[in-house]
Amino acid sequence: MIWYCMLMWVAQVNRQRSMLLCVGVVALSCLSPVPAHAIEVLPTAEQIQAALDQGKEAAQRGRPPDSFYVRFGVTEEVQPKGFLITKIGALSVMATHMALRGLQPSNADMTQVLKGTTMLVSTIILGNTPNFAVDSYMVLEQGGKPIKPVMVRFDAQADRSVVWPKSPRFKAKVVASFNYADFDPKAKTTITVYPATGGESSFSINFGEID
């Protein structure tokens, strides 16, 4: 059933493309705005096409692919921060990368994104030893319920921070993937990273307000 749905999505995308080509720029201007980063587990054909169009437009405007990441935390260099990538955001990122090379995403490319069962969350945390991020862990919390990741990766060797040798001396990545089936894609959420050396870095984000 899942593969049948994926094939139907791809077919709908192709039909939508053909319609847009036939009616031209006027039809494009009539499309309703679609959030670039919304956490849609099952994007519609219209949302898929809008994400691809946004990626192509980003390439034409010189906008970097990572502008479609959903960022959270403080932008200062010596503060914890991070981003997550949704299915719709991933489609725009892919379309931007390919448009910069004069290409378009294939049906196989789109299907690979759409059939994904997990959402990636990437964070940068800070510490004072080169290996402080080893064995770090990440969880989501929604309404008091902890949601465990299916995968966690971390930098075994952290990079120097911009204030080295002052504290915090090092920065490291901690990346996790969470099953869409395990969390509410519209709920207020706290993302927390726990370094094995102690302490934590927490980020609050309302999934329902991502746009």
CB atoms within 10 A of CB 161: 20
User: Mean pLDDT, to the nearest integer, of 131-135?
Assistant: 96
pTM here is 0.79
- Mean pLDDT score of the chain, rounded to an integer? 85
Q: Would you say residue 20 has pLDDT above 60?
A: no
CB 86 within 8 A of CB 178: no
SS3 89: helix
pLDDT tens column, 163-173: 999 999 999 99
Residues 6+ apart with CB under 8 A from 205: 70, 72, 188, 189, 190, 191
Q: Confidence band (pLDDT; 50, 70, 90) for 38?
A: low
